[in-house]
Chain A
Amino acid sequence: MGKRILWWWRRKQDKEEIEEELRAHLAIEERERSLRGASPEEARLGARRLFGNQSRIAEETRDVWRIVWLEELWQDVRYGVRALRHNPGFTAIALLTLAIGIGANTAIFSVVNRVLIQPLPYPGADRLTSVWQLAPGLPSFTRKLNCAPTMYFTYREQNRTFEKFGVWSTGGASVTGVGDPEQLHAVFMTYGVLDALGVQPAAGRWFSEADDTPGTEETVILTNWYWMKRFGGDASVVGRTLQVDSRPHRVIGVMPGDFEFPGNMPELLLPERFERSKLFLGNFSYTGLARLKAGVTIEQADADVARMLPIWRDSWPLPPGFNKAFFTNARMAPYVRKLKDDVVGDIGSVLWILMGTIGLVLLIACANVANLLLVRAGGRQQEFAIRAALGAGWGRIARELLIESLLLGVLGGALGLGLASASLRVLMASGPDTLPRQSEIGIDPLALVFALAVSVISGLLFGVIPVIKYAAPRIATRGEALRTGGRALTQSRERHRARNTLVVVQVALALVLLVGSGLMIRTFQALRNIAPGFTAPGTIQLLHISIPEAQVKEPDRVMRLQQEMADKLAAIPGVETVSFGAAAPLEGFYSSNVVYAQDKVYTSGEIAPIRSFRFVAPGYLRSVGTPLVAGRDLTWTDLYDKRDVAMVSENMAREMWGGPPAALGKYIREGAGEPWREVVGVAADVHSEGVYRPAPTTVYWPALMNNFRGNQVQASRGGVFLVRSSRAGTESFLKEARGAIWSVNANLPIFEVETVEDLDRQSMARTSFTLVMLAIAGGMALLLGIIGIYGVISYAVTQRTREIGIRMALGARPGAVQRMFVRYALILAAMGVALGAVAAVGLSRLMKSLLFEVSPLDPVTYVAVAVVLVMAAVLASYLPARRAAAVDPLDALRAE
């Protein structure tokens, strides 16, 4: 190949050289003619005439260097196509195997490419980072800590490494006055955020510092799809006023259609307006977004934040009830991350594992095709020998074999590409909703290049094996092949070894994949066996509402309205229980904070453990299906009389006081400024952050309470009705449920209508997605492995018919012959299992993060998979072995 490329380079030089050579020829002829007495004119013309068309000759001479190899290549390709067409069965199986292997790889690569490899859709995206903090000093707090509003000001004003900086958070906002009242997803942001992302609005302008300042006119930016949906893309909407949360907001801009907010799909962008004079150190609920200055590394940014943290700590007032030691003991540290890592999240590990898995399937597929090719090449050995004897170079035969394999590879790849684009559509429909950047996924030029490269490489991979075996220059073997006419009594050990090795490798790879899927099945089982703390999630209907302050001011009235709605919902036929809470289990947004107990002694500055908070109305536990372990539920009297009471989870009771009964009558509070609240009930643990995560220690506060976080009275304005009914999820039921809520307040948007089961499915999506993909890969590997073993045993039986005939003529029993072949398969399978087990021990560690209460070395999985594979080997060898046993010795010997 290299030589040919060199020829191309040399062609230009060659052209001039050939022309010069021909001119020299003419000159000699001319001179000879004039020596023989011709006039110069005659000599010149005569020479020309004799010579013929000079440029045509030059052209043809040059073609010697060019066309010959092209022609030969074309000839080989045609020969290859013919050879493939002559063997439709072989071709179909090989193509199908390859199409599946390459198609699956291309599909997964497209996802990996879009999600993990391509940069985020922002200019200079590699300089975008999210700014987090760590607080290793906080007990049982291992998550990363968001930014506080005060950090926004400190970081913004003191940093040396950020080009732009802002903070944002997500939330909801209602829009009224345009069609039905609607609750929309919104991102609240300070003015540095859009500047950092660097995406200009399609119309209007970005937020400015003035938009952030309280007291100025309130503004809003619309995202493209909301603008299209609600306003039909009307450009005159910019400058108009929109009722957002019942207050007028000026529309100042519309984002372009391809704009994506990192990890979110908001409809509205609203400015975050901090009142600087009222801020204190706490409230870590904003995500920091920074565009680093050119050339600044993550480490430098970290160092910069580390420098600013003490400045921040010293320049803002403490929150009520906290002392300075709290913030010192928290040992806060910077944690600046690439924005892409944040957006991609832990799906990265799933995708890489998937990619590796599918790559293994392709390897198995290649091994199968190589085996088929070996069988075929074995059958053509005589042909090769004759051609070699007639003078065909071994290079030529090798090239033919390789070109045939490459043809298979490329054709299989083309089919696979079709398969990939089809399966991508299925994947997008069934993949986890949490798969980031889904909208960008498709088969792009890079995926095409990948598919082509995979096709060619697999073609070479399985093509080179028969070439080494059969087309290598070994005169002796050829002579033998020619002599015996391909009717050797037994095959040479060496040729068997190639096929056997391939089968052993196949079984080993299949074992690795089956162990992977087995571990996922065990994980899934483990998850299913957990008592999640809620029952029959499919019958808990969730309906979210939010009552803005502009509509109803007094917290008590908010609670009464919510109770009234709950009563109306309870009156719907088929409803068992109804309750209300700020959030349902498994919902992403939850609040948490430190909780102190009255009977514990805290040294100055010691930080109490952080607990998960739920704000609930009476009956919440019953609606969810959480058993009450000790004490009593909250009552409406507790709520309306603002009694200082609370409930805790069983694991918290155990941790603090040694058991549920001991917790009753104890007093807890969030901070020094608040009253002690009595623990009146203990609820069973709920895996509310996802079934695969441990149940958090939880405090259930009343949905209406006094003196909480500086509010005199606090109600949960935004929250969710939990309606338990066997009719949950049906259209007729939802219609009645909406009607019930609107009969109390017709201006209330109702949103995120789903069941707890939907949430459960979403929280399990990653696990079930990985499980399904691994199971498919494992199934394919098993099937290909069975075909591989079957093929090898079957072929061995055919090749050894004569030997079997002799054995049986000498008295061997059919059963013994049958056993001989099954044993042969078992030995191969056992070697593969042993080899695969070693590989699986190494590789399954990589998927540790995906497993739940299952060790990567889970013996049950390994043994089960090994048994399955050995059984498969017996099964795959049984049919050909029976055929061997049925051989008639006379026929076998006569067949020669």
Chain B
Amino acid sequence: MSEKLDILQGTLDLLILRTLQWGPEHGHGIGQAIRARSDDLLQVEHGSLYPALHRLRREGWIESEWGITENNQRAKFYRLTAAGKKQLTAEETRWKLFVKTMGRVLRSQE
């Protein structure tokens, strides 16, 4: 449990997009959600989270808007765009293929 996994390069985007599939969320919330859903195994560094969010926004996959949290605090909320949803599907497919291939390769070497 105390072991932390490094987030594989390129997978952070997928994690963020996936998290946003449930609805708009702010940066803090996204970080918490990834952590919670990975049983604390995946820790998103803030130093990677925000550049990634902005990169996704630049690509047009997510959009942002200032809003109020349930605790009545100001925060910037991110939401998937139509292009983002498509990208999510594509990345998921690619990821599954990757995992399957990796698995096959690793198995064959055992």
Residue with the greatest number of chain A CB neighbours at <10 A, chosen from B51, B55, B75: B51
A18 within 8 A of B: yes
- Say which residue of A18, A27, A52, A64 sits within 8 Å of B58 (CB atoms): A64
- Say which residue of A18, A52, A64, A65 sits within 8 Å of B46 (CB atoms): A52
Q: Of A53-61, A242-250, A441-449, A580-588, which binds chain B?
A: A53-61
- Say which residue of B28, B47, B53 sits within 8 Å of A29 (CB atoms): B28
B50 touches A57 (CB 8 A): yes
B50 touches A60 (CB 8 A): yes
- Say which residue of B45, B53, B74 sits within 8 Å of A24 (CB atoms): B74
A156 within 8 A of B: no
- Say which residue of B27, B45, B69, B74 sits within 8 Å of A52 (CB atoms): B45
CB distance from B42 to the nearest CB of A (A): 15
Query: Once bound together, how far apart are the Cα atoms of A63 and B17, in whole Å?
Result: 21
Q: What total of chain A residues lie within 8 Å of the partner, measured CB to CB? A: 24
B54 within 8 A of A: yes
Interface residues of A in 41-95 (CB under 8 A from B): 50-53, 56-58, 60-65, 68
With a CB–CB cut-off of 8 A, which chain B residues contact A61?
Answer: 50-51, 53-54
With a CB–CB cut-off of 8 A, which chain B residues contact A31?
Answer: 71, 73
With a CB–CB cut-off of 8 A, which chain B residues contact A22?
Answer: 50
**What 0/1 readout, one digit per residue, does chain A (1-42) give for beta carbons within 8 Å of chain B?**
000000000000000001011101101110100000000000
B86 within 8 A of A: no
Nearest CB in chain A to that of B27: its residue: A25
Query: Once bound together, how far apart are the Cα atoms of A22 and B53, in whole Å?
Result: 12
B100 within 8 A of A: no
Interface residues of B in 49-70 (CB under 8 A from A): 50-51, 53-55, 58, 69
Query: Once bound together, how far apart are the Cα atoms of A51 and B71, in whole Å?
Result: 20
Query: Once bound together, how far apart are the Cα atoms of A128 and B97, in whole Å?
Result: 80
B47 touches A56 (CB 8 A): yes
Query: Once bound together, how far apart are the Cα atoms of A870 and B74, in whole Å?
Result: 78
Query: Once bound together, how far apart are the Cα atoms of A51 and B44, in whole Å?
Result: 11
With a CB–CB cut-off of 8 A, which chain A residues contact B50?
Answer: 18, 21-22, 57-58, 60-61
With a CB–CB cut-off of 8 A, which chain A residues contact B46?
Answer: 25, 50-52, 57
A24 touches B47 (CB 8 A): no
- Say which residue of B27, B28, B54, B75 sits within 8 Å of A65 (CB atoms): B54
Question: Given the known A-B contacts A31-B73, A51-B46, A60-B47, are A25 and B54 also in contact in the complex, defined by CB atoms under 8 Å?
Answer: no
A-B contact count, CB below 8 Å? 60
- Say which residue of B45, B55, B71 sits within 8 Å of A28 (CB atoms): B71
Query: Once bound together, how far apart are the Cα atoms of A167 and B69, in whole Å?
Result: 87
CB distance from A62 to the nearest CB of B (A): 8
B26 within 8 A of A: yes
A21 touches B51 (CB 8 A): no
Question: Given the known A-B contacts A22-B50, A25-B27, A52-B45, are A65 and B58 also in contact in the complex, defined by CB atoms under 8 Å?
Answer: yes
Residue with the greatest number of chain B CB neighbours at <10 A, chosen from A24, A31, A68: A24
With a CB–CB cut-off of 8 A, which chain B residues contact A63?
Answer: 51
With a CB–CB cut-off of 8 A, which chain B residues contact A50?
Answer: 46
Question: Given the known A-B contacts A28-B75, A65-B54, A65-B58, are A21 and B27 also in contact in the complex, defined by CB atoms under 8 Å?
Answer: yes
Query: Once bound together, how far apart are the Cα atoms of A68 and B74, in whole Å?
Result: 30
Nearest CB in chain B to that of A57: its residue: B47
With a CB–CB cut-off of 8 A, which chain B residues contact A24?
Answer: 26, 28, 73-76
Nearest CB in chain A to that of B29: its residue: A28
Query: Once bound together, how far apart are the Cα atoms of A51 and B75, in whole Å?
Result: 16
Query: Once bound together, how far apart are the Cα atoms of A65 and B75, in whole Å?
Result: 21
Nearest CB in chain A to that of B55: its residue: A64
Q: What total of chain B residues lie within 8 Å of the partner, measured CB to CB? A: 19
**What 0/1 readout, one digit per residue, does chain B (26-41) give for beta carbons within 8 Å of chain A?**
1111000000000000
Question: Given the known A-B contacts A24-B26, A28-B28, A31-B71, are A52 and B76 also in contact in the complex, defined by CB atoms under 8 Å?
Answer: no
With a CB–CB cut-off of 8 A, which chain A residues contact B74?
Answer: 24, 27
Nearest CB in chain B to that of A53: its residue: B47
With a CB–CB cut-off of 8 A, which chain B residues contact A18?
Answer: 50, 54
B47 touches A25 (CB 8 A): no
- Say which residue of B26, B29, B51, B76 sits within 8 Å of A64 (CB atoms): B51
**What 0/1 readout, one digit per residue, does chain B (63-93) give for beta carbons within 8 Å of chain A?**
0000001010111100000000000000000
Query: Once bound together, how far apart are the Cα atoms of A58 and B54, in whole Å?
Result: 11
With a CB–CB cut-off of 8 A, which chain B residues contact A57?
Answer: 46-47, 50-51
With a CB–CB cut-off of 8 A, which chain A residues contact B29?
Answer: 28
A28 touches B73 (CB 8 A): yes
CB distance from B51 to the nearest CB of A (A): 5
With a CB–CB cut-off of 8 A, which chain A residues contact B69?
Answer: 28
B75 touches A52 (CB 8 A): no
With a CB–CB cut-off of 8 A, which chain A residues contact B45?
Answer: 52
With a CB–CB cut-off of 8 A, which chain B residues contact A58?
Answer: 50
Residue with the greatest number of chain A CB neighbours at <10 A, chosen from B46, B50, B55, B58: B46
With a CB–CB cut-off of 8 A, which chain A residues contact B53?
Answer: 61
Query: Once bound together, how far apart are the Cα atoms of A57 and B45, in whole Å?
Result: 10
Nearest CB in chain B to that of A35: its residue: B71
Query: Once bound together, how far apart are the Cα atoms of A421 and B40, in whole Å?
Result: 69
Query: Once bound together, how far apart are the Cα atoms of A56 and B47, in whole Å?
Result: 8
**What 0/1 readout, one digit per residue, does chain B (11-35) give for beta carbons within 8 Å of chain A?**
0000000000000001111000000
With a CB–CB cut-off of 8 A, which chain A residues contact B26?
Answer: 24-25, 28
Interface residues of A in 810-857 (CB under 8 A from B): none
Query: Once bound together, how far apart are the Cα atoms of A162 and B14, in whole Å?
Result: 79
A21 touches B47 (CB 8 A): no
Nearest CB in chain A to that of B90: its residue: A391
Query: Once bound together, how far apart are the Cα atoms of A58 and B49, in whole Å?
Result: 11
Query: Once bound together, how far apart are the Cα atoms of A650 and B28, in whole Å?
Result: 106
Query: Once bound together, how far apart are the Cα atoms of A418 and B74, in whole Å?
Result: 61
CB distance from A707 to the nearest CB of B (A): 97
With a CB–CB cut-off of 8 A, which chain B residues contact A64?
Answer: 51, 54-55, 58
Query: Once bound together, how far apart are the Cα atoms of A18 and B69, in whole Å?
Result: 18
B51 touches A27 (CB 8 A): no
CB distance from B15 to the nearest CB of A (A): 17
Query: Once bound together, how far apart are the Cα atoms of A459 and B101, in whole Å?
Result: 44
With a CB–CB cut-off of 8 A, which chain A residues contact B28?
Answer: 24-25, 28-29
CB distance from B28 to the nearest CB of A (A): 4
With a CB–CB cut-off of 8 A, which chain A residues contact B71?
Answer: 28, 31
Query: Once bound together, how far apart are the Cα atoms of A63 and B69, in whole Å?
Result: 28
CB distance from B63 to the nearest CB of A (A): 14
Nearest CB in chain A to that of B69: its residue: A28
CB distance from A40 to the nearest CB of B (A): 15
Residue with the greatest number of chain B CB neighbours at <10 A, chosen from A28, A31, A62: A28
Query: Once bound together, how far apart are the Cα atoms of A212 and B12, in whole Å?
Result: 91
B75 touches A25 (CB 8 A): yes
Query: Once bound together, how far apart are the Cα atoms of A63 and B47, in whole Å?
Result: 12
CB distance from B89 to the nearest CB of A (A): 15
Nearest CB in chain B to that of A51: its residue: B46
Query: Once bound together, how far apart are the Cα atoms of A24 and B28, in whole Å?
Result: 9
With a CB–CB cut-off of 8 A, which chain A residues contact B76?
Answer: 20-21, 24
Interface residues of A in 849-874 (CB under 8 A from B): none
With a CB–CB cut-off of 8 A, which chain B residues contact A52?
Answer: 45-47
Query: Once bound together, how far apart are the Cα atoms of A24 and B68, in whole Å?
Result: 10
CB distance from A439 to the nearest CB of B (A): 55
Nearest CB in chain B to that of A22: its residue: B50
Query: Once bound together, how far apart are the Cα atoms of A472 and B40, in whole Å?
Result: 46
Query: Once bound together, how far apart are the Cα atoms of A62 and B53, in whole Å?
Result: 11
With a CB–CB cut-off of 8 A, which chain B residues contact A65?
Answer: 54, 58
**What 0/1 readout, one digit per residue, does chain A (647-663) give for beta carbons within 8 Å of chain B?**
00000000000000000
A-B pairs with the 4 shortest C-beta distances? A61-B50, A64-B54, A28-B28, A21-B76
Given contacts A18-B50, A25-B28, 13 further A-B contacts (CB under 8 A): A18-B54, A20-B76, A21-B75, A21-B76, A24-B75, A24-B76, A25-B26, A25-B27, A28-B73, A52-B46, A57-B46, A60-B47, A61-B53
Could you list 23 examples of A-B contacts with CB < 8 Å? A18-B54, A21-B27, A21-B50, A22-B50, A24-B75, A25-B28, A28-B28, A28-B29, A28-B71, A28-B75, A29-B28, A31-B71, A50-B46, A51-B46, A52-B45, A57-B46, A57-B50, A61-B51, A61-B54, A64-B51, A64-B58, A65-B54, A65-B58
Residues on A close to B: CB < 8 A? Answer: 18, 20-22, 24-25, 27-29, 31, 50-53, 56-58, 60-65, 68
